[in-house]
Structure 1
Amino acid sequence: MSTDAREAPDNPFIEDPPTDFDDVDDLTEEAARRQAEQLREALRYHDRRYYVETDPRIPDRAYDALFARLSALESAFDLQTEDSPTRQVGGEPLDAFDTVEHVAPMRSIDSSGDVEDVYDFDRRVHDRLGLSQTEGDSAGQASLDAYADGAVEYFCEPKFDGLSVEVVYEDGRYERAATRGNGETGDDVTANVRTIRSIPLRLSGDFPDYLAVRGEVYIPRDAFQAYNRERVERGDDPFANPRNAAAGTLRQLDPSVTAERPLDCFFFDVLDASRRFSTQRERQETLPEWGLKVNDRSTLVDDIEAAVDYRDDLVEDRDDLDYEVDGAVIKVNDLEQCERLGSTSRAPRWAYAYKLPARTEETTVRDIVVQVGRTGRLTPVALLDPVDVAGVTVSRASLHNPDQIADLGVAVGDRVKIQRAGDVIPYVDEVVEDNSEGHFAFPDHCPVCESAVEFDGPLAFCTGGLACPAQLKRAIEHYVSRGGLDIDGLGEQKLDQLIEAGLVESIPDLYDLRVADLARLDGWGETSAENLARELEAKTEPSLDDFLAALGVPEVGPTTATSLARAFGSLDAVMDADEDELQAVDDVGPTVAHEIREFFGSERNREVIADLREHGVEPRSVEVETGDALSGLTFVFTGALDGYTREEAQALVERHGANATGSVSGNTDYLVAGESPGGSKLTDAESEEVPVLDQEAFEALLADHDIEVE
């Protein structure tokens, strides 16, 4: 392929390309074939200028027009090729990943955040190469003198916080890709890696006949924040950090999902090639000539002290980088010396990673977005540079409400201190460096549906109701989720399809879905459509607690739903209960009782429930508490029981007046231990002198109280 515009003087799509084209139907097949070849050549050239040289020659709109033209030609004249740029938009979903063997081991490298360990690495390198020091240095000394027999040069590069992949080219064409896996074998992710625009499907320049390279797939920080913003605004949870997002994306079974996400890749090693190199630096400088993107922070240094300085510079600059790094990789530059040093079973002796310190508690607000919950409540969320807080990586934090934003004076660009409420929920505690004017302005219209925002004290709500796509989607997602009715076959993407196709505009619409309508949608088939229909039919008589949890009543999760079901027995009884009756239920306090009463007092919610009943959905009533034979006793259950679950055992004793709790204390009367019990509960029982019953003894106790196990 041509790598310079001067090498393709007859290609009209490289310099100032036209973006208005004749109709495809007016072309002959030969003319279409010739234009398609020129477009592929031009698109590869522009990809190289954009991704590898970071010096694009045409605007994005012009590139998109060329890409669309090539797609139209390939479709109209059946001109698709394996290495066409249009093959980077996804493909058919996979059933599973195959395992492939790497062409060469993909070893990890030893690492430490202690500078003394870095100097120890340097000493080992010189000792093994027979390069002695002029003055003896004690182990751990952080300053080295010159070496009598010569010094070792080091090639330094950032240690990217992404996902390592092996990419193989044969005759310059993309052949396959695999994750690192265990270092010897990895998952075959050929279809997914193909979609990454910065990874060429055909090499350029004077490439070798065979090439296997190692790269790091990552999501640029700006793209990560933008993608998280989209997820939050549509009601989805954001990704925790760029590395998790990249790893999860690369392991998607549907390549079209991978193609939609902003993955990128840096290459940094040659695993095997039909060409020899003499130094790390030579290898790194050659990769871009073949169209493979490398990092511009890589550099050659004279000694280990300069390598340490390199890492310290990374610490200073990492907030300004558009990718996450967690260390500096220090490699012996001379490849002949690397061969002499060799490797252990897990790591090369010629490389070491000097880790960066974790970011702790203080970080920068990169964006503030407003999330629309399924109840319509608008919650401001700060998207952050990932930071370590009490051992957990945090990339978002709650700002709670407009009043708190104003009190903090927080805005995009500010440096803030992050805390975790109860060591769980991250929140912005204070602004430690004000880099903005004023504070974030809370919107007066819903960011999703543009409906007016209504304030109830410090809380803000979208007035769009189920006409708001975020509320509708979140409500339906919750209804079919594992925390709701657990309806298989309706993941996020499939649900999006149904909403966009106009097949689902409310929860009851799920029960109007027809197999023929579903089978016509992309990615669906007769089998998957029939499976979903069967799932929906099977869930028309859900348990009362599952149904209550699925409705998405604020503050009512599975545990509270179970308590309500046991206390009231039927849906109508729960719907008609007043706040005093609700507060008499375990797990229900004044706030939860008010939320439940508000939910079932809403005319719109009652209409949805009535509509569900008209579609044949009727939750099963449950037997309410039947007696007080076990009144005053408290049980804790651990391990697996034979014939029934722990939850069913808990429900049984509670129906007969006992309490069932999750942890052993001095108030516990019995610990019931099934197979593989938790060690901590057994230890607590011993220290609190709580009797431990196996399943046989538990059932004997029930029999003594005339209670039968169902």
Structure 2
Amino acid sequence: MTIKEKIEGLREELRQHNYRYYVLDNPSIDDFEFDTKLSELIRLEEANPELFDPNSPTQRVGGGVTKNFVTSVHKNRMYSLDNSYSKEDLLDWEKRIQKIVGTAGISYTCELKYDGASINLTYENGRFVKAVTRGDGVQGDEVTANIRTIKSLPLVISEDFVKDFEMRGEIILPIAGFEKMNEERVVNGEEPYRNPRNTASGSLKLQDSAEVAKRPLDCLLYQVVTDERKYDTHYDSLLAAQKVGFKVPDTITLANSIEEVIAFVEAWDEKRHDLPYETDGVVIKVNSIQLQEELGFTSKAPRWAIAYKFKAEQVTTVLESISYQVGRTGAITPVANLAPVHLAGTVVKRASLHNADQIEKLDIRVGDTVYVEKGGEIIPKIIKVELAKRPLDSKATAYATHCPECDTELVRTDGDAKHYCPNEFGCAPQITGRIQHFISRKAMDIDGLGGETVDLLRKEGLVTSYADLYELTKEQIIPLDRMAEKSAQNMIAGIEKSKEIPFEKVLFALGIRFVGETVAKKLAKHFKSIDALLAADIETLVAVDEIGERIAQSIRAFAEEPSNTALITRLKSYGLQLQVSEESLANQTDKLAGSVFVVSGVFHQMSRNELKKAIEDNGGKVSSSISKKTTYVVAGDNMGPSKLTKAEGLGIPIISEQDFIDMINQ
């Protein structure tokens, strides 16, 4: 046997032992024997460095130091899930699905919603190559070295699975491991960690992977993402993943009706407290991958999946005072300052009171004993007041009349739930908030510049608007607190690189009220330049698909404010992309203008996403459901029978993938 064969044999043997110990919980050798084999492999690898393998079992001990985590764009976007809180919500979700794909034979998978940190794992030729945090769903931080230390995660996959794929999962900290870590911290005189979820998430960003390796992290997997057509259902793909070594919990269940889904939810609402890890709900997915593709996504979430959140834990505490926060748009949010109380694993000191109407509706007063819960178990909120414990000298809450930051009198327009500070260009939180929005990942994505630094720049008088960022110099930045030459260089480089950001993101970054990420894309595509957009009147704006009166009025208000037009003029002079690039325009036509397409089935020359992009690039609109407004259905293999029946019934032309390609190439 050659040295190479001996090393590869040891690696495979140790992988199998790892799998039996950390996934199956059924070890076949004792710890001493395992450590002996691992030590032998370490010795052989050190003596033969040319045979190094990053996915060797020896690399799980960590040791690599990552000073800066690289931002990595997800190949396939990681969407969030719509939430439900009742049986009625689940029944409504099923009705929405049936409206698109019909009522026949829909089955579902039910999976516990693991409470940890979402991760996307990339495998090429069956070998682990990259791990990226969820981030904002479009891009996240690469944490490959830290994830490699998790012993339950397979680093090499056998050939009877798909070759190239992404594996979605949750990095968790089992309750027993978390409690043991805290016991050790208390013995060492250190502050104990608050909860497993935050500790797991924080572990992924530790710079020393050897420290990560010491933590009992685990990885529970819930989705295979691949272009290969090997499995017809989500359930089958997870069972296959489980067989080749991924830790897919056995609690996953196939349900043939929404009634079976509800039964699963009710059962686990009781049993969840007996689990070795934390869970806050159930994720329900349409099982058929073909139906998933037919249902598609909204701008934020898949239509084929929904999260059922278990009822939130409630506690009582005392409302000590009410303060008011100012957002970047000037919106005022009242905040309840509470006597500290433990709730769902964290100490809660503050809760949102939403607006004046909510305070009046609940008759919330300082000194009240209030019931607090976490909305979706994330954001604390006050549910009700314990009137029996109200102090005798209690006084009704008088809502703030002036801005807590700049003392400007607040305004409230008809039909608006919020009060606003109108001092847009003189109110410090609004100035800072607009710049923070401008530099955020989904907007200008400026590296080397964070929220605290923005506030520092404003306090030092270096910026009063986002346009001022483009006049900053390294010499101005270096003297600031916690700044050095390298960090100043990185900031200036990040600001300069942002000039390459495409128009649709710049438009979102401007912070026009009601113009979110999706609306900005529609407006950029339609008007193609900031000048054309700001010159459009209300009628022209409302004529754009999905742009309503409220958005149109907000754009006009922005355009008519002289300080805003001055900002735009400055941004142009700095070279920002305030129109669609010539390269993008070259790939766009109006050939399909006015046409609405529904895409269904499996395609061979183009992926579904490429096909949809081609429709939009040529002026057409993509819809997920067939209606009288549909112009064409582009049908691939295995098109959903319900869509086929509906299209034929409405007399809508059904074209092939090649027909479509010929249409846009004419």
TM-score normalised according to structure 2 size:
0.48
Flag the structure with larger Rg: 1
Query: Does 1 or 2 have the higher relative contact order (CA < 8 Å, sep 6+)?
Result: 2
